[in-house]
C-alpha cells in the first residue's frame, strides 16, 4: 500500500477509495469482533492492574504460606523430641522403614498421638500438622479439608498391602425431596456398586493397633477434652465416697500420664466370689390394678394421639388438600387396624373390606370405611414440615420418637441387668440411614441402638444416623461411635433411676478397655466379649491361634491391676475372649456340647462370667423375637413408615411385658394384642351407614355373582330384600328398582328378570 494513503497511525487511512471492499466484510466477522473484545478486556485489566504477574505473585504467596505451615510442624516435632528427650535412634529408623513412612511422618504421628494426655509444657500440634500426618502416612487427604472420604479410605487399604483395618462409613446426607421411594436391593452391598454420595461420605479407618484415621470419632486427629460438662455426674450407691465428676476423671488420667504408669498384669488372677449387689427389688404394684388398656395407654397416650391428629391435618393442608377432619377416635381405630394386620395378615390392606366372606374382616369393616383408612394412611404425619432440623435425618419422626422414649423411661421399673445392642428395622428402599449388616436375620434396614431388660422391655433407644444431633463429642472421642450412644441413653434416664448400680452387657462391637474402665469408675458392672485388636498388647493371655488348640472348657485369666479389669479367654467351639469389671470365673458350671470324636454329648466346664453373659445378654434379641411374631403387616411408601410401625409394635410389646409382671396370670402376646384391638374397634368405631361397593367377580359374565352359582339351578328362591329396602334389578337392560331378590345370588331381581337371569 502506498504511503500516500496513510497520514497518522492513530487516525488510520485517509483515503478509503483505494482499499479492498473485503475490509468492511472482515470487520463484521465473528473472529474480528472476538479479537476486539479480547483486546478491550486486556486493556481494561491493564488499567486496573490485574496483570499476569500479580496472579503469579498471589500463587507464590500461597505456596510460601503452605511451607510456613510445614516449617511449623517440623518445629513442633523438634520441640516434642526436646521436651521428651527423644532422638532419631536406629531402632526408630528401622520401625519407620517397616511402616513405609518418613521419620518426619512418624514424629508427626507421635506428636498427634500424645496430645490426648499432654501437659502444659508439651507442644500443641496445629490442625495443619494433623492433616500433614495423614498425608505423609497414607498419601491422601487435603490439608484444608475435613478428613477422609470413603473413596480415599478404600484407596488406602487397596493400595497398601501392609495396612489392614476396618472401614466405618458415616451415612451420607440425604438428597431426596420427597417422602416416597422405591428400589430393589439387587447388586447392592458391594464396593463396586456404591453410589457417589456414599463414596464422598465421611469414613474412618480403624487399624489393628487401635489407631483411627478419619474425620469422625478420630482419636488421632481430635484432641480429647475431658473437662466438658456433658459427662453426667451422680453418686454410686455401691461406693458412697466415689462421685464422678469431669474434673476428677481428668485428674485421674493426667496423673497416670505424668507418672508414665506401666500396666501391671497378674496372670491367673480372678475376682472373689461375686456377692449379690444391693439392688432394689422391682416393684410393679402400681400396675396391678390397671387393665390391659390402661397399661397400653401409658405408652400410646392422649398426648401422642392428639399430636398425630394435629400433624396429620396440617400435612393435608400442606399439600393444598381439603381438611380431612380426622379425630382422635379415628386415630385409635387406625392404630388398632394396624395391629390386626400383624396377626391376621391379608395380601393387601384393601382386602380387610372385601365383601366376600373368605377375606372380609367384619370387625375392621364395621369400625371404619376403607377409603377413610386409606386417607389416614396417605396423610399420617408425625412432624411439622415447616419446622425442619437439617442436622437431624430423623426429623420426620423425632417428636413422636421423643415422646415414646419418655414414656418407656417413665414406665421402666429398674432391673439390675441391662443389655445394650443393635436392632434392625427392615427397610428395602433408599435412604441415607439405611444399613447393611451381613449375616443378620434382617440384613437391610435402619439400625437402632437399644437398651433392654432381660425380658425384652425397651428402656431407651436411638436411631443410628451417623452424625447424630444428640451425639456427645466427648463420649465419641473417648469410646467410639458405637459405644457412645450407650452413655447417652444412660444419661437420658432420670437421676433417681440412673444412680443405681446396674450390670451392663454388650458384645464385641462396643466393648473396650476405655469404656469398661469408665463404667467401673461410674459404679456400674460391665461384662462383654472383646475383639482381639482391642486387647492391650502387653496382656499375658496366650495367643489366640495357640489357644485354639486347647481342649474345650479350658480357660485363662489375666487382670489389669491399674484399671481392675479382668480378661478371660475360654475355649468352646471357638475361642471366646471376655472383659469384666466385677464378675470372675469362680463358681464354674457345665454345659452340654456334642463331641465329634465320641459321637455323643459331653459336659464342658464354663466359667461363671460366661454363664452370666449368656443369661442376660439376650434382652435385645428377645425384643426382636417379640416384635417379629406379630409385626404390623400394612406397608407404606414413606421412608419413615417402617420406623413408625416399629414404634407402635414397641409400645405394644412393652405394655404386654408390664402386664405380665404384675403377678396376674400371664397371657400370650397374641391374647394381649387381641384384647387391645377388640376394645378399640368396639369402643371407637364409626359404623358405615351403607354397604359400600360390591366386590367384582372377574371370572363371570355378571360381575356381582359367579357363573357357577348363577346357573347351577339349585335353591334359587325369590325373597324380600333386607328390611324391604329398594335395590336395583340385576337383569339385563332393566332399570327398575325392586324389593325382591334371589336368596342364593344376593342380587336384586324383579319377577320378570328372575328366570332369564338364571338361564344361560
pLDDT digits (tens, 9 = 90+) for 681-690: 999 988 776 5
Alpha-carbon gap, residue 630 to 628, rounded angstroms: 6
Q: What residues contact residue 291 under an 8 Å CB cut-off, 6+ apart?
A: none
Which set of grid coordinates corresponds to residue 750?
324383579
Which set of grid coordinates corresponds to residue 618?
439376650
Higher pLDDT, 594 or 93: 594
Bridge pairing between strands 444-453 and 575-580: unpaired
Q: What is the mean pLDDT of the chain?
A: 79
Average pLDDT of span 727-734: 88
Alpha-carbon gap, residue 630 to 633, rounded angstroms: 8
Say yes or no to pLDDT of 14 above 70.
no
Alpha-carbon gap, residue 756 to 751, rounded angstroms: 10
Helix, strand or coil for residue 13?
Answer: strand
Say yes or no to pLDDT of 111 above 60.
no
Under 8 Å between Cβ of 393 and 171: yes
* Cα torsion through 737, 740, 741, 747, rounded to 10: 10
Identify the CA nearest to 328 among candidates 299, 301, 349, 363: 301
Residue 8 pLDDT: 45
Say yes or no to pLDDT of 146 above 60.
no
- Sorting pLDDT into bands at 50, 70 and 90, what band is 95? very low
For cell 483505494, the residue is 18
Alpha-carbon gap, residue 524 to 420, rounded angstroms: 14
Say yes or no to pLDDT of 109 above 70.
no
Higher pLDDT, 516 or 27: 516
Residue 224 pLDDT: 34
Residue 108 pLDDT: 52
Say yes or no to pLDDT of 116 above 60.
no
pTM of the model: 0.65
Q: What percent of the chain shows pLDDT beyond 70?
A: 72
Q: How far is CA 126 from the centre of its chain?
A: 33
- Sorting pLDDT into bands at 50, 70 and 90, what band is 476? confident
Could you report the per-residue pLDDT of 57-88, keeping only the tens digit for each?
778 888 888 888 888 888 777 777 776 665 54
C-alpha gyration radius of the chain: 37
Alpha-carbon gap, residue 85 to 343, rounded angstroms: 72
Say yes or no to pLDDT of 302 above 50.
yes
Could you report the per-residue pLDDT of 253-262, keeping only the tens digit for each?
666 666 666 6
Residue 586 pLDDT: 85
Which set of grid coordinates corresponds to residue 18?
483505494
Residue 561 pLDDT: 85
Residue 221 pLDDT: 32
Tell the burial category of 501 from Cβ atoms under 10 Å away from its Cβ (0-12, 13-18, 19+). middle
Alpha-carbon gap, residue 297 to 757, rounded angstroms: 54
Average pLDDT of span 596-607: 90
Instruction: Give how far Cα 687 sits from Cα of 114, 332, 337, 354, 539, Å.
Output: 72, 15, 14, 16, 71
- Sorting pLDDT into bands at 50, 70 and 90, what band is 398? very high
Could you report the per-residue pLDDT of 706-721, keeping only the tens digit for each?
888 888 888 899 999 9
HEC per residue, 261-272: CCCCEEECCCCC
Q: What residues contact residue 271 under an 8 Å CB cut-off, 6+ apart?
A: 566, 580, 582, 583, 584, 586
Alpha-carbon gap, residue 325 to 372, rounded angstroms: 11
Buried-exposed string 336-370: b where 16+ CB fall within 10 A, e elsewhere: bbbbbbbbeebeebebbbbeeeeeebebbbebbbb
Alpha-carbon gap, residue 541 to 556, rounded angstroms: 7
Residue 504 pLDDT: 95
Of 69-73, 85-89, 444-448, 603-607, give the lowest mean pLDDT range: 85-89
Could you report the per-residue pLDDT of 368-389, keeping only the tens digit for each?
999 999 999 999 999 999 888 8
Residue 381 pLDDT: 94
Angle of helix 398-410 relative to helix 302-318, nearest 10 degrees, comes to 180
- Sorting pLDDT into bands at 50, 70 and 90, what band is 185? very low
Under 8 Å between Cβ of 750 and 734: yes
Residue 121 pLDDT: 40
Identify the CA nearest to 484 among candidates 190, 206, 231, 266: 231
Under 8 Å between Cβ of 330 and 379: no
Question: Phi and psi (nearest 5°) for 580?
Answer: -145, 150
Under 8 Å between Cβ of 454 and 654: no
Residue 529 pLDDT: 94
Bridge pairing between strands 434-436 and 417-426: unpaired
- Sorting pLDDT into bands at 50, 70 and 90, what band is 154? confident
Identify the CA nearest to 757 among candidates 719, 708, 715, 702: 702
Residue 75 pLDDT: 79
Average pLDDT of span 180-190: 44
Residue 129 pLDDT: 45
Under 8 Å between Cβ of 395 and 640: no
- Sorting pLDDT into bands at 50, 70 and 90, what band is 481? confident
Alpha-carbon gap, residue 567 to 537, rounded angstroms: 13
Say yes or no to pLDDT of 268 above 60.
yes
Higher pLDDT, 472 or 684: 684
Identify the CA nearest to 540 among candidates 307, 269, 334, 296: 269
Say yes or no to pLDDT of 396 above 80.
yes
Q: What percent of the chain shows pLDDT beyond 90?
A: 41
Helix, strand or coil for residue 380?
Answer: coil
- Sorting pLDDT into bands at 50, 70 and 90, what band is 415? very high
Average pLDDT of span 669-696: 82
Question: Phi and psi (nearest 5°) for 556?
Answer: -130, 155
Amino acid at each position: 500500500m502506498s504511503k500516500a494513503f496513510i497520514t497518522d497511525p492513530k487516525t488510520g487511512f485517509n483515503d478509503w477509495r483505494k482499499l479492498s471492499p473485503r475490509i468492511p466484510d472482515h470487520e463484521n466477522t465473528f473472529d474480528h469482533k472476538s479479537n476486539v473484545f479480547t483486546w478491550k478486556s486486556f486493556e481494561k485489566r491493564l488499567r486496573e492492574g490485574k496483570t499476569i504477574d500479580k496472579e503469579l505473585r498471589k500463587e507464590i504467596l500461597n505456596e510460601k504460606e503452605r511451607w510456613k505451615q510445614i516449617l511449623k510442624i517440623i518445629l513442633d516435632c523438634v520441640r516434642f523430641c526436646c521436651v521428651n528427650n527423644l532422638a532419631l535412634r536406629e531402632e526408630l529408623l528401622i520401625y519407620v522403614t517397616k511402616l513405609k513412612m518418613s521419620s518426619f511422618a512418624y514424629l508427626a504421628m507421635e506428636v498427634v498421638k500424645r496430645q490426648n494426655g499432654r501437659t502444659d509444657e508439651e507442644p500443641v500440634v496445629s490442625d495443619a500438622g494433623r492433616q500433614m500426618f495423614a498425608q505423609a502416612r497414607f498419601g491422601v487427604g487435603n490439608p484444608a479439608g475435613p478428613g477422609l472420604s470413603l473413596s480415599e479410605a478404600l484407596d488406602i487399604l487397596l493400595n497398601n498391602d501392609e495396612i489392614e483395618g476396618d472401614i466405618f462409613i458415616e451415612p451420607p446426607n440425604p438428597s431426596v425431596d420427597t417422602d416416597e421411594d422405591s428400589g430393589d436391593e439387587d447388586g447392592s452391598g458391594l464396593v463396586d456398586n456404591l453410589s457417589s454420595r456414599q463414596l464422598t461420605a465421611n469414613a474412618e479407618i480403624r487399624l489393628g493397633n487401635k489407631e483411627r484415621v478419619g474425620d469422625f470419632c478420630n482419636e488421632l486427629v481430635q484432641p480429647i477434652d475431658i473437662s466438658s460438662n456433658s459427662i453426667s455426674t451422680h453418686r454410686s450407691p455401691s461406693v458412697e465416697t466415689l462421685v464422678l465428676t469431669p474434673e476428677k476423671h481428668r485428674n485421674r488420667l493426667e496423673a497416670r500420664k505424668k507418672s508414665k504408669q506401666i500396666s501391671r498384669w497378674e496372670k491367673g488372677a480372678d475376682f472373689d466370689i461375686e456377692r449379690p449387689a444391693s439392688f432394689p427389688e422391682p416393684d410393679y404394684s402400681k400396675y396391678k390394678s390397671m387393665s390391659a388398656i390402661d397399661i397400653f395407654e401409658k405408652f400410646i397416650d392422649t398426648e401422642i394421639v392428639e399430636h398425630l391428629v394435629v400433624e396429620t391435618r396440617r400435612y393435608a393442608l400442606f399439600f393444598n388438600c381439603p381438611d380431612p377432619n380426622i379425630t382422635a377416635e379415628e386415630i385409635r381405630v387406625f392404630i388398632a387396624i394396624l395391629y390386626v394386620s400383624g396377626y391376621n395378615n391379608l395380601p393387601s390392606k384393601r382386602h380387610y373390606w372385601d365383601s366376600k366372606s373368605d377375606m372380609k374382616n367384619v370387625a375392621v369393616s364395621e369400625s371404619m370405611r376403607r377409603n377413610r383408612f386409606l386417607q389416614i394412611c396417605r396423610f399420617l404425619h408425625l412432624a411439622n414440615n415447616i419446622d425442619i432440623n437439617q442436622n437431624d435425618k430423623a426429623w420426620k419422626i423425632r417428636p413422636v420418637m421423643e415422646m415414646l422414649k419418655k414414656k418407656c423411661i417413665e414406665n421402666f421399673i429398674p432391673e439390675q441387668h441391662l443389655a445394650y445392642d443393635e436392632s434392625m428395622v427392615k427397610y428395602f428402599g433408599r435412604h441415607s440411614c439405611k444399613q447393611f449388616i451381613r449375616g443378620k436375620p434382617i440384613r437391610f434396614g435402619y439400625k437402632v441402638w437399644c437398651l433392654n431388660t432381660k425380658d425384652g422391655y425397651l428402656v431407651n433407644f436411638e436411631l443410628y444416623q451417623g452424625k447424630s444431633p444428640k451425639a456427645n463429642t466427648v463420649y465419641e472421642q473417648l469410646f467410639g461411635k458405637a459405644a457412645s450412644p450407650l452413655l447417652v441413653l444412660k444419661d437420658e434416664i432420670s437421676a433417681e433411676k440412673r444412680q443405681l448400680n446396674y450390670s451392663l452387657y454388650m458384645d464385641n462391637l462396643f466393648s473396650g478397655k476405655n469404656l469398661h474402665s469408665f463404667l467401673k469408675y461410674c459404679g456400674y458392672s460391665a461384662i462383654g466379649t472383646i475383639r482381639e485388636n482391642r486387647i492391650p498388647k502387653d496382656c499375658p493371655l496366650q495367643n489366640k491361634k495357640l489357644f485354639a488348640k486347647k481342649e474345650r472348657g479350658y480357660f485363662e485369666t489375666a487382670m489389669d491391676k491399674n484399671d481392675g479389669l479382668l480378661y478371660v479367654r475360654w475355649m468352646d467351639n471357638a475361642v471366646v475372649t471376655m472383659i469384666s469389671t466385677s464378675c470372675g470365673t469362680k463358681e464354674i458350671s457345665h454345659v452340654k456340647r456334642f463331641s465329634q470324636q465320641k459321637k455323643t454329648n459331653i459336659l464342658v466346664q464354663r466359667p461363671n462370667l460366661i454363664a452370666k453373659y449368656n443369661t442376660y445378654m439376650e434382652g435385645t434379641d428377645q425384643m426382636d423375637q417379640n416384635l417379629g411374631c406379630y409385626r404390623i403387616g400394612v406397608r407404606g411408601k414413606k421412608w419413615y413408615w417402617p420406623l413408625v410401625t416399629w414404634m407402635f409394635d414397641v409400645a405394644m410389646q412393652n405394655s404386654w411385658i408390664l402386664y405380665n409382671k404384675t403377678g396376674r396370670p400371664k397371657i400370650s402376646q397374641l391374647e394381649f394384642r387381641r384384647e387391645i384391638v377388640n376394645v378399640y374397634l368396639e369402643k371407637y368405631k364409626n359404623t358405615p351407614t351403607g354397604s359400600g361397593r360390591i366386590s367384582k367377580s372377574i371370572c363371570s359374565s355378571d360381575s356381582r355373582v359367579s357363573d357357577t352359582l348363577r346357573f347351577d339351578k339349585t335353591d334359587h328362591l325369590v325373597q324380600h330384600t333386607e328390611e324391604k329396602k329398594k335395590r336395583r334389578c340385576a337383569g339385563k337392560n332393566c332399570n327398575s328398582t325392586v324389593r325382591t331378590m334371589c336368596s342364593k345370588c344376593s342380587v336384586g331381581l324383579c319377577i320378570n328378570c328372575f328366570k332369564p337371569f338364571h338361564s344361560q
